[in-house]
A and B are shown apart, each in its own frame.
Chain A
Amino acid sequence: MLAVFRFHAVVGARVALQSFTPLFAAIVAAVMLQMYPAALVKGVALGLFGDRPAAAILMFVAFLAFLLPAWAAPRLALGLQGWLRHLPVSDARSRRGLELSLLVVQAPLLLILVLLAAVARHQGAGIWGPVLLQLGTILAAGVLASLPVRRRGLLIPTAAAAALAALTSPHSVYLAIPSLILCEVAAGPIRVIRHRRHPRVFLSLAATIAWRALGWRLPAAYAAAMTPMLVSMLFVANNELEGRLAAAAFRFGFALSLGTCLALVSRGLAVRRPVWPWERSLPDSCARRVLRDALFLGLHAVPPALIGAAIHTGASLAAASLLPALLFRAAVAMRRIRESRAGTGPFFAEACIFSALLALLPWIAAPALASAPLFFRAAHRSERQQKVTKWLEAPHRAIGDSLSWSDE
């Protein structure tokens, strides 16, 4: 029994580590962007652990408590439905092991709560028992709502209702806790994940494969790509800039939007649609593969470019002139990402430099456009030099391959 739980705790910890950096980075960035960061932290700590917990802060905690297990559950469940199932472990024990994994996945959130509790205590607040019960109920509800079990239809509404009750009043947790326990007992065995059937291909197979691989990451990439554009708009709106400076700000924002979009889409492709070695034996060429990738990436840069054109046509055109160079650099990044732990970071840094140069020296649009063939050659060389059958962790981990859970 202990061995099973230890195994699940370790697996959960590994998955938790993946969410740790982005979550903390986002929170630190959000705090540091405030006018008074220390005051914000103190306010949140007292708002959570003070006499009357603030509903908005509790709701944010609940959001993370549901998000983290929901993100981790498919990965963890995939590892449980193969070879592990022949081991002498009951369904109920496997499910509880998975629950433990999901609880461990919430470790980054728990750490944040512990830090906030320490701050609140330092500010003289007594940690109120019912708040801890409220938080515990919310965390448990988050775990149960993400469990891929047979009676999921019962679990999700009960967990949501329990979390809502815990959010509204400290006393309602006494009702929520027994209902969560009952639901856990009645949850049933872990459901085997069936792969979705693919609909017919109407467009090119390469594009269809890429879209299927990207899935919901595409809207996320667009949302992120809008950020620099939005920031440049706010910058121009909130500062009295003359036309030339406003255009420079727009050029920077628009070019960086394109770079962000390409960085995220190319990362998604590199990780979710790894190189398909067998395909390379078919009568096709490296040049065509690079061009296909560049075209696919370019297609996804069109919406941000059009939105930019609607805001400031000149700046958008200048930013679009960087597109061929950025597309081929992204194609190179996709091929290097496999072996690099830095992900698309180097490409994003290049995009930042290109954007800054374009903002300061708009005439570089012409040489950037003219040098596209050189960038294409670099991408072509990168495609040819790939070691496509070498074992690399990232793409295997992305599809939940249990062999990827190595220490590499």
Chain B
Amino acid sequence: MIRLEEVDFSYREGEKVLFGLSLDLPPGLTLLIGPNGSGKSTLMKLAAGIERPDRGRVSIGGLDLWREEVAARRRLAYVSEQPDLTPYATIMDVLRLVCRLRRESVTEARRALEQAGLEGCGDRSIRELSMGQRRRAVVAAAWIGSPQVLILDEPLEAMDRAMREKIVSWIDRALADQCTVLIATHDIEPFAPSARRAVAMRDGRCRLLDPLPADAAPRIAQLDALSRGLRPGIGGQ
């Protein structure tokens, strides 16, 4: 479960990006949609503990991300939109670090690397990989261990078809295991069938749509309209 309570956030003093956001996201798939610049990635960063809210509280499974930092983060995996792995370490170094912090064996790192199709790239730094490979490396890090909360920012971007299928099936398995999955995406179709709810972002405010229409066609139409920011009058939850 991801919980945001009265969260405000700004990158610069006096320029708020998120306003009094409150959300309860129980297990299941939640799609985070909205036009560019609406605050989706910022919300993801707050939920993943990358940025700290200026006001309010963010918790993962009841654990405050900024009070019980280690315990809360042990349950989550984050795939960022920008694959910002450090250029001063190899991919294998990074995966080993993830294994150590998630208390997994190092063989998990090799397995994740193989699954992501990066067997020969373990000793390379992120700078030596293509954009698709960089994103695969970040996804491979998310595959290590069994995180209960997945926060995925545009997980299919820059991926080839085979990798997209792998990611979608990984998400399906996580949903079957009662994980909480939050996906920010403009690519609605692959996730629409399994989505339980959607959060529509616009101008730093959000609206929760729970449940989504049961039928596929109206569900996709509604999600599509929201991702284009067509619905006026979006306010707090």
Contact = CB atoms under 8 A, between A and B. Distances in A.
Contacts of B128: 195
A198 B88 CA distance: 8
A244 interface: no
Nearest to B75: A283
B70 A198 contact: no
Interface stretch (A18-26, A217-225, A380-388): A380-388
Contact of B138 (A278, A284, A385): A278
Contact count band on B: 35 or more
Contact of A205 (B70, B77, B97, B125): B97
A289 to B, nearest CB: 10
B73 A278 contact: no
Given A209-B86, A213-B88, A278-B80, A388 B70 contact: no
A406 interface: no
Contact of A283 (B12, B66, B74, B123): B74
A209 B69 contact: no
A280 B89 contact: no
Interface in A341-389: 384-385, 387-389
A205 B96 CA distance: 9
Contacts of A278: 50, 78, 80, 83-85, 138
B4 to A, nearest CB: 16
A197 B48 contact: no
Given A195-B127, A284-B70, A285-B70, A209 B48 contact: no
Nearest to B94: A205
A396 to B, nearest CB: 12
A222 B69 CA distance: 36
B73 to A, nearest CB: 4
Given A195-B127, A201-B93, A205-B97, A385 B76 contact: no
B69 A285 contact: yes
Interface in B83-114: 83-90, 93-94, 96-98, 101-102
Interface in B109-138: 123-125, 127-128, 138
Interface in A171-191: none
Contacts of B127: 195
Contacts, number: 95
B51 interface: yes
B80 A283 contact: no
B113 to A, nearest CB: 16
B149 to A, nearest CB: 10
A279 B71 CA distance: 15
B27 interface: no
A388 B50 contact: yes
Contacts of B73: 281-284
A169 interface: no
Contacts of B50: 277-278, 280-281, 388-389
Interface in B34-59: 45, 48-52
A283 B69 CA distance: 7
Contacts of A277: 45, 50-51, 80, 84
A66 B206 CA distance: 58
Nearest to A194: B128
B51 A208 contact: no
Contacts of A201: 89-90, 93, 96
B223 to A, nearest CB: 26
B170 interface: no
A86 interface: no
B140 to A, nearest CB: 13
Nearest to B123: A197
B132 to A, nearest CB: 17
A208 B49 contact: no
Contacts of A384: 52, 66
A298 B100 CA distance: 25
B125 A198 contact: yes
A140 B74 CA distance: 58
A281 B90 contact: no
B11 A390 contact: yes
Contacts of B76: 281
A197 B51 CA distance: 31
Contacts of B93: 198, 201, 205, 208
Nearest to B10: A387
Contacts of B90: 198, 201
Given A285-B69, A387-B11, A209 B89 contact: yes
Interface in A46-103: none
Nearest to A209: B88
A107 interface: no
Nearest to B127: A195
A236 interface: no
- The residue in B78, B88, B94 that gathers the most chain A C-beta atoms within 10 A of its C-beta is B88
A285 B74 CA distance: 11
Interface string B209-234: 00000000000000000000000000
Interface in A112-143: none
28 contacts: A195-B125, A197-B123, A198-B90, A198-B93, A198-B123, A201-B89, A205-B94, A209-B88, A209-B89, A213-B88, A276-B84, A277-B45, A277-B84, A278-B83, A281-B73, A281-B78, A281-B80, A282-B97, A282-B98, A282-B101, A282-B102, A283-B70, A283-B71, A286-B69, A384-B52, A387-B11, A387-B51, A389-B45
Given A278-B80, A280-B49, A389-B51, 12 more contacts: A198-B89, A198-B93, A198-B125, A201-B93, A277-B80, A283-B70, A283-B102, A284-B101, A286-B66, A388-B51, A389-B11, A389-B50
Q: What 4 A-B pairs are tightest by C-beta distance, nearest first?
A: A281-B78, A283-B74, A285-B69, A212-B88
